[in-house]
Structure 1
Amino acid sequence: MMKKKSLVLAAVMAACATSFAFATPQTQWNQGQWQLDLGAWNPKAEVDTSNFDDNQGNISTDSKWNFQGGLGYGLSDKWGLQYNYYGLKTGSNDKMEGTNGDEHEVNLVYSINKNFAAFAGWNRIKNSLKDSNYSQTNNIAQIGLIAKAPLAKNLDFYAKGALGTKKTALWEAGLGYSITPDLDISAGYRYVNTKLADKGDMVDEALATDDANISYKGFIAGLSYRFGGGHKEAAPAPEPVYTPEPTPAPVVETPVQKNDYYVESVHFGFDEDQPLPSERAKMDHFVQVAKANPNDTFKLVGNTDAKGSDAYNDDLSKRRVDNVAAYAESQGIPATQMQLDYKGKTDPVSTNDTDQGRADNRRVDIWQNH
């Protein structure tokens, strides 16, 4: 029957939309870090039966809550691998038979920057109708894009879209909230449209008079937890204790004048005291230069954008410097080789009137005294 076909296609649609339908979709990865996703969504299937010989117009199933879950792993700071599972069950009514399938999906995800990521993957979807023997397994290749933008502290807007085989297209949009640096929740709406039947196919007693698609849509909510990995974005770290630099012994000869030479600027997210994942290479470069010049001192100067009070930003710039210094110490740079300074919001390098200018000001400047 048409009901059965609609539900089958709904499952296919779910397949193409699964990439990041848990908590706020990830656009950045930390190497070696895992993400566990748990959630539920409440889909219903809908089909236009004008493409079948039992034309009844648009008909749909009742919605039903389904479990969804997934596991992601950061292969590097740019690449992640993710497995997702979706239940594809919907409720029967007097117009359309419910579905009882499931979906397994694997995606490779690439972080373009903190706001965008691209993904490509494979879905295996079993479409099964509750009250008949009709069952079909679909294999779908898909490619898509994820976008994320901050609305307020800890609150993001996200959207994603994808195209796949079997005439499949999807979109999803919603809000995500970060409870802690490692725990997120989200809520949104998800829509998928994909092929149900080719012209001439029979689904129970219904004959497809033309190619037919089905849509699968509903409210979605989830929770994500991250753990492991070598370093984490915005992960809290204990404030390191630094050994005071010893007072040099007096010398007879006139000391050689040293100058400060710029090395790097390590950048941070809004109201964050841990460097952005993309800044790891800069910190490693600083460590490399410091090891190559053990007799030089390196000055670390913390800065913030102009949002917030002077006292808050002074403390935030101090935490930023302390965490960069703690990373350098963990890589073998002695505390005596570093001088720490905190300037809060008093030394901007760009305007504080634009998002980009404020992002430029959230930094730790590193200077080599040589």
Structure 2
Amino acid sequence: MMKKKVLALVAAAACVSSFAFATPQTQFEQGQWQIDLGAWNPKAEVDSSNWYNGSGDVSSDSKWNFQGGLSYAFTDKLALQYNYYGLKTEGNHETAGYKTDGDEHEVNLVYGLNKNFAVFAGWNRINNDLGGWSDTNNVAQIGLIAKAPLAKNFDIYAKGALGTKNTSMWEAGLGYSITPDLDISAGYRYLNTKLADKGEIGLKDDANISYKGFIAGLSYRFGGGHKAAPVEEAPAPVYEAPAPAPVEAPHVYNDYYLDSIHFGFDEDQPLASEQGKLDNFVSVAKANPTEQFKLTGNTDSKGSDAYNTDLSKRRVDNVAQYAVNNGVPASQMILDYKSFHDPVASNDTDQGRADNRRVDIWEHK
């Protein structure tokens, strides 16, 4: 009878090693906070053959648990994240009514590699409360997040982690962006971690527990906004806006389109493929030293207006700095920033958004 009770307890146990809740982020905005709220519906499962006279897998019934988290971005690439997970399941006839009543607290540092990938590492404290028996796993973990767009406002994501205490985790699902700062997600998570060593609680070998179920949540971001890092120092002169020159008579100016320099998503340096356009601009400007050129920065519609205004400014400043570094006087350039308010294509497609990430160059005369 005692062995059956122990087996029932183990079947109901659950341990978790995880990363982000709700839609996982691969990019950040310095100074921004994120709150995650939601629930998941896990059940615990263990191979009872690790117990004397045991055989086969037994599992507890699932139960909805509260999940939550809080994140803060130190930079556009590095964030600190805390997560809480309830580890409660229901007993059934296989588990003789025993259920789990634990919880989990974890802290991770998350580093965004680009818009599609991020890595994380941290510490995970997993408390297994099995009624009359409890134990705690302290897990060091490292993992990877992958994320890609499926359609307008829809993303697919996956993440996985490996940790001490024989711990592993994977999760996959879909996310939907209601606004640039509010999204929801739904997915499925599988977790596996060490329960006990051979000889403990009647074990004839080391035992692990798997924990799996559907998960759904909501994420909200707020705050953030920062000034761009200064351009790296170089021996070339730094661009400064020229003082307005007095004119003797009013003059009506017209802008004649010259070219557009394009950028990657959330990047302020031109694509490598645009080098020829940059050099052509420098050549035309130097060949027409009495003419001025208007540089207008633009972005796609992803992100807030404030952030994109800053991004469009950084794009224009970097193109202007390149021209100055290559002998074009700063007085020949007029700078303007449009954020996402002057698209040349639809922001509903990948190609349209790529066309909108640009600096337009106009001959101003």
TM-score, scaled to structure 2: 0.70
Please report how far the alpha carbon of residue 225 of structure 1 lies from its aligned counterpart in structure 2 after TM superposition: 0.4
CA contact (8 A) 1:27 1:147 kept: yes
Q: Deviations over 1:7-44 (max 9, x none)?
A: 44x22xx1x12x11x22111111110000000000000
**Alignment match, 1:225:** 220
Instruction: Please list the CA deviations of residues 322-351 of structure 1 after superposition, one character each: whole Å capped at 9, or x if unmatched.
Output: 95489649xx9xxx94357967259xxxxx
Q: Which residue of 2 aligns with 1:198?
A: 197
Partner Cα distance (1:359, 1:260) in 2: 20
Q: Contact (CA 8 Å) 1:119, 1:145: kept in 2 or not?
A: yes
1:211 Cα deviation (Å)?
1.1
Report the residue type matching 1:95 in the other structure: E
How many residues are treated as equivalent by the alignment? 293
Cα distance per residue 1:148-177 (max 9 Å; x no partner) = 111110011110111111111111001100
1:1-370 counterparts in 2 under 5 A? 1-8=6-13, 10-11=14-15, 14=16, 16-17=17-18, 19-20=19-20, 22-96=21-95, 97-130=98-131, 132=132, 134-202=133-201, 207-230=202-225, 248-250=247-249, 265-268=262-265, 276=266, 278-279=267-268, 298-300=294-296, 302=298, 324=309, 328=313, 337-338=334-335, 344-345=344-345, 360-365=354-359, 367=361
- Large movers: runs of 4+ above 6 Å: 259-264
> Distance between the aligned counterparts of 2:181 and 2:296, measured in 1?
28
The Cα shift of 1:193 comes to 1.1
| DSSP 3-state at the match of 1:44 | strand
Amino acid at match of 1:57: G
Q: Is the contact between residue 184 and residue 216 of structure 2 (CA under 8 Å) also seen in structure 1? A: yes
CA distance, structure 2, for counterparts of residue 246 and residue 222 of structure 1: 57
Contact conserved, 1:7 with 1:127, CA < 8 A, in 2?
no
The structural deviation recorded for 1:196 is: 1.2
Offset at residue 367 of structure 1 (A): 4.7
What secondary structure, in the 3-state scheme, does the structure 2 residue paired with 1:92 have? coil
Cα shift at 1:122: 0.3
Residues 368, 110 of structure 1: CA spacing in aligned structure 2 closer, same or farther, 3 A cutoff? farther
**5+ residue gaps, structure 1:** 233-244, 252-258, 269-275, 283-294, 305-315, 347-353
Contact 2:312–2:337, Cα closer than 8 Å, also in 1: no
SS of the aligned residue for 2:204 comes to: coil
Name the SS of the counterpart of 1:120 in structure 2.
strand
Q: Secondary structure at the match of 1:3?
A: helix
CA distance in 2, matches of 1:196, 1:217: 15
Taking CA–CA contacts closer than 8 Å with sequence separation of 6 or more, which of the two structures ends up with the larger relative contact order? 1
| Partner SS for 1:5 | helix
Q: How big is the shift at 1:302? A: 4.8
Identical-pair percentage? 57
Gapped regions of structure 2 (runs ≥ 5): 1-5, 228-243, 251-255, 271-290, 318-332
Contact 1:145 1:162 in 2 (8 A): yes
Distance 1:343 1:222 in 2: 33
Deviations 1:196-231 (CA, angstroms, capped at 9, x unpaired): 1211111xxxx1111111100001000000000116
Aligned to 1:256: none
Q: 8 Å contact 1:36–1:226 — kept in the other structure?
A: yes
Q: What one-letter code is carried by the residue in structure 1 that aligns with 2:26?
A: T
Cα distance, 1:192–1:343 mapped onto 2, change above 3 Å: closer
* RMSD (CA atoms): 3.8
What letter corresponds to residue 225 of structure 2 in structure 1?
Answer: G
Aligned-partner SS, 2:10: helix
Which residue of 1 is the match for residue 280 of structure 2?
none
Give the Cα–Cα distance (whole angstroms) in 2 for the partners of residues 301 and 198 of structure 1.
61
Label 1:261 to 1:80 Cα distance change in 2 as closer, same or farther (>3 A): farther
Normalised by the length of structure 1, the TM-score is 0.69
Which letter maps to 1:299?
A: L
8 Å CA contact 2:298–2:312 kept in 1: the answer is no
